[in-house]
Structure 1
Amino acid sequence: MNSTFQRLMAQATQLTRAGDLRGATAAIQAALAGGAAPPPAPADADVIDVPARELVEPVAPLNRAAPVAGEFITGSYTGAAGTRDYKLYVPPGAHGRRLPLVVMLHGCTQNPDDFAAGTRMNEAAREQGFLVLYPAQTQQANPSRCWNWFKHNHQRRGRGEPELLAGMTREVTARHGADHRRVYVAGLSAGGAMAAILGAAYPELYAAVGVHSGLPVGSARDVKTAFDAMKNGAAGKARTAMPPTIVFHGDRDTTVHPLNGKQVAADCIGACEPQLERARHANGRHYTRRTYRDANGRLAAEHWEVHGAGHAWSGGSARGSYTDGQGPDATAEMLRFFFLQAQREAG
C-alpha cells in the first residue's frame, strides 16, 4: 500500500468525521484511482459514488470474453426505473428447452464481458446447460459502474435498480423460455451487495442468491455508512429474511471487510449450528466452509471463508479482473448450491 493511498484514505476518514461527505468521496475516488484527481462530485448527495475496488496487483480487464460455443448476445431493457443494456449467454441446443437462468452482477469498474471472462460462467453454462444474464451498469448511473447498493432509493422492492433488474430478469425469462422456478442471482462486491438486495426484495423471483465479497442488505443508507460498513462490517444492522444464500469472502479482503460475509450468511440462518469443513483447495488456498440447514434439514446457507484471499472472485480466471485463481472455484460451488435449490422446488 503506497503512501499516496494512505494519505488520501486518512484524509477521507477525517472528512467523513467532519461531515464533509462529498469531500470524503472525492478522496476515496482519488485513492482508488492511484492518486489521480477524481471527477467532480455530483451536487445531489444521493448520487455520491462509493467505488469498491481491489487494491492489489491489477489484472487488465478484457473488452470481450474469450469465444465460447453458443451465443453471447447483446440486449437492452427499459422499465419504469430506467434503461440498462445487458449481455446474455445462450448455450448450444437451448432452443425449445426450459433452462435455468443465472443473473450475474459485475463489480465496480467491470462490465459483462470482463465478468464473464473472470468467472468462467459461460463455460460452465455451455457444459451444464443454463442461460446467463449479465446486466451492465452505466457510468451515468454511477461513475465507476458500481451498482448503487448503498443508496436508500435502490434498496427496496419496486424502486430504483432492484426494480429495474427484476424487470429485466422477468423479461429475459419470458422471452427465452427459461424455467421460472430455477432463476438465481449472484454478484461480486457491489454486485454481491445488490444480489443480496434482489434476493430479499424478490424472493418469489430468485430461488437462491450468491454473494461474493459483498455486503448484507441494509448495511448502508448513504456514503458515510457505506464507508463504515466496507471498512468495519455492518454493525447494528437489522436481520433481513433471505432466500437460500451462498457466500464467498476472502479473509484478507481490505476493500470489503470479511465480517460482511458472515453477516450476509447470518441473515439466512437464525441460531442453527453449522456443519464445519476445513480443507485446502488443490490450487493452494485453505478455506473454511460452514453449512447451515433449517429446522426441516433444508439447506439455508453456506459461508466459504477463503484464507489468504483478498477482494477477488475465488478460483477465477486471469482473463478477467479481480480474480484469484488459487482459491476454491466459486463459480462451480455457487452452481452446485443453486441447482440443489431447484431440485428441492421441482421435486
Structure 2
Amino acid sequence: MNRSAAKYARRSHGSRALSDVLAVFAAMSLLVLAGAPTASAAPDAAGGGQGRVDQRTYSASTGENDYLVYVPKDWKESDELPLYVNLHGCGTTAEQMMNASEVNAVADRERFLVAYPDNGGECWRAVVGDPASTTRGGGGDADIVAGITRETSSAYNVDTDRVYLMGGSSGAFQASATAAAYPDLYAALGLIAGGGYGTDFLTCQNMSDADAPLLAPQAVAQMGPRAHVMPFFTIGGTLDVLGEQPAPGGCVRRAYLEWLATNNLLKPGTDGDTFRDDPASTVSGQVPDGYAWTREMARGRDGCQISERWIVDGMGHAWPGGTTDPEYAGTFNDPKGPDTAAESWRFFEQFSLSGGRTDCGG
C-alpha cells in the first residue's frame, strides 16, 4: 500500500465535537494505536505480513468509514478463518495501527484475518462516554464497529464462532463498549491502555479500584439477552494513566476488575465468585533489552482460564511490542514491551462463541 496515497477517512453525518479530547490526548502523548474487496498493498507494506491488504468502505446511516482487511498469505475464498478486529486510538489511522502493531505477521503464521476499522484519525467516541457509541442500535461507534465486523465476516467467509475484538487507548474504551453492546459477535475481548464499559477517559482515572466492579451491572444490562461470559485480555504500562499506573490513573486495571465482576454476574457461584484471580499462575519475565513484565490470570473453579492481565514495568502509553521501524516505533508502539500481537492471539484462540476448547466462552 502506498502510504502517500492511503487516506482513510470517516465521513460522518453527525457532529463529533472531540477537539478538546484530542488536545488532551496530544498533550499527554497518548497512544495513537493506533462490495468486493479492493486489492492493495505490496507485501513489505503489510504490517509485517506477506499477504495482501484490502481497502474497503462501510456505508450506513451514520455515514461512511474506510477500513482495512489483512488477508493472510495463501488465503483461499473457501477458507473459513477466524477474525481479529483491531481498533486504533486517537490521532492515527488504520494503516498506522497495522504497521505499528505487526498483528499481520502473526496472522500469516497462525492463519487468521485482521480488520482495522478507521475513523479518520479521530477518537472513538466511547472515550468520552457518548451514549450513542456505547449502546446497541444507538447510531454511534459501537454500531459502526459491529457493522464493519459483520461486513468483513460476510465478504471473507469468516468463522463467525471465532471473532475477537482488540482496542488501544480510545479504541480500548470502544472495544469495551462494543463487546457489551454486541456480545453476540465477539468470542473474546482485548484492551490496551483504556477503560471498561461505562467509563470515560477522566472517570476511569479518578475512580478507585474498589469502585470498578460496581460498573459491572451496567455492562450486563447492555449485553442483555445476548450476554455470555466474555474472556478478556488487558495490558498496560506502569507509567501510563490509562494503563497500569498507580492511582491516580490505572484505567486498564479497573477495566480488568470490571470485566471480571461482569463475568461473575453472568456466571455466579453458589458460595462466592466463580472466576477468581489465581496467584499460582502469575509469572514474570523480561523482554531482552526491554521492560520487565508480570502476567496474572483469573480462572473458574474448574481451572478454566477466563482472563490475562499484563503489567509492563516502566512503559508509558503505547502498543507494547510491534515494529522497530522508526516511522512508527516510539510514537505508535514501544518495541521494548512484550509482543502483544502474539500474546493476545495465544489468549484469544482458546475461545469461541459456542464454547470452544473450554467452557469459559459459552
Fold shared by both chains (TM-score > 0.5): yes
Distance 2:27 2:352 in 1: 33
Distance 2:31 2:236 in 1: 19
Q: For structure 1, which runs of at least 5 residues remain unmatched after alignment?
A: 1-43, 139-143, 221-225
**Secondary structure class of the residue paired with 1:134:** strand
**Secondary structure class of the residue paired with 1:74:** strand
For 1:86, the aligned partner's letter is: Y
- Aligned partner of 2:45 in structure 1 is 66
2:163 is aligned with 1:183:
yes
- Aligned partner of 1:227 in structure 2 is 202
Q: CA deviation at 1:120?
A: 0.4
Q: 1:233 to 1:123 in 2, by over 3 A?
A: farther
Residue 341 of structure 1 is aligned with which of 351, 354, 358? 351
Residue 83 of structure 1 is aligned with which of 61, 64, 67? 64
Distance 1:153 1:47 in 2: 14
Residue 332 of structure 1 is aligned with which of 330, 339, 342? 342
Q: Structure 1, residues 47-90: CA drift from partner, whole Å, max 9, x if none?
A: 5641334746999x9x9973442210100111233321101110
Q: Structure 1, residues 131-161: CA drift from partner, whole Å, max 9, x if none?
A: 11001113xxxxx511111212211112211
Residue 129 of structure 1 is aligned with which of 89, 111, 119? 111
2:270 is aligned with 1:273:
no
For 1:289, the aligned partner's letter is: R
**Secondary structure class of the residue paired with 2:295:** strand
Matches within 5 A, 1:9-158: 49-51=20-22, 52-53=25-26, 55=28, 66-67=45-46, 68-95=49-76, 96-138=78-120, 145-149=122-126, 150=128, 151-158=130-137
Distance 2:208 2:88 in 1: 21
- Aligned partner of 1:316 in structure 2 is 322
Q: CA deviation at 1:166?
A: 0.5
Distance 2:350 2:115 in 1: 20
Asked if the contact 2:133/2:142 (under 8 Å) is kept, the reply is yes
For 1:146, the aligned partner's letter is: C
For 2:56, the aligned partner's letter is: G
Distance 2:332 2:322 in 1: 8
Distance 1:345 1:190 in 2: 29
Q: CA deviation at 1:295?
A: 2.9
Q: CA deviation at 1:126?
A: 1.6
Distance 1:343 1:302 in 2: 18
2:240 is aligned with 1:246:
no
Larger displacement relative to structure 2 (47-56 or 146-155): 47-56
Q: For structure 2, which runs of at least 5 residues remain unmatched after alignment?
A: 1-14, 35-40, 221-228, 262-272, 358-362
Asked if the contact 1:288/1:304 (under 8 Å) is kept, the reply is yes
Asked if the contact 1:112/1:136 (under 8 Å) is kept, the reply is yes
Distance 2:26 2:231 in 1: 27
Larger displacement relative to structure 2 (159-168 or 237-246): 237-246
**Quick one: percent identity of the two aligned structures?**
28
Q: 1:299 to 1:156 in 2, by over 3 A?
A: same
- Aligned partner of 1:301 in structure 2 is 307
Q: 1:75 to 1:256 in 2, by over 3 A?
A: same
Distance 2:340 2:351 in 1: 17
- Aligned positions, number: 293
- Aligned partner of 1:23 in structure 2 is none
**When the two structures are superposed, what TM-score results if normalisation uses the length of structure 2?**
0.73
Asked if the contact 1:294/1:300 (under 8 Å) is kept, the reply is yes
**Secondary structure class of the residue paired with 1:173:** helix
Asked if the contact 1:261/1:303 (under 8 Å) is kept, the reply is no
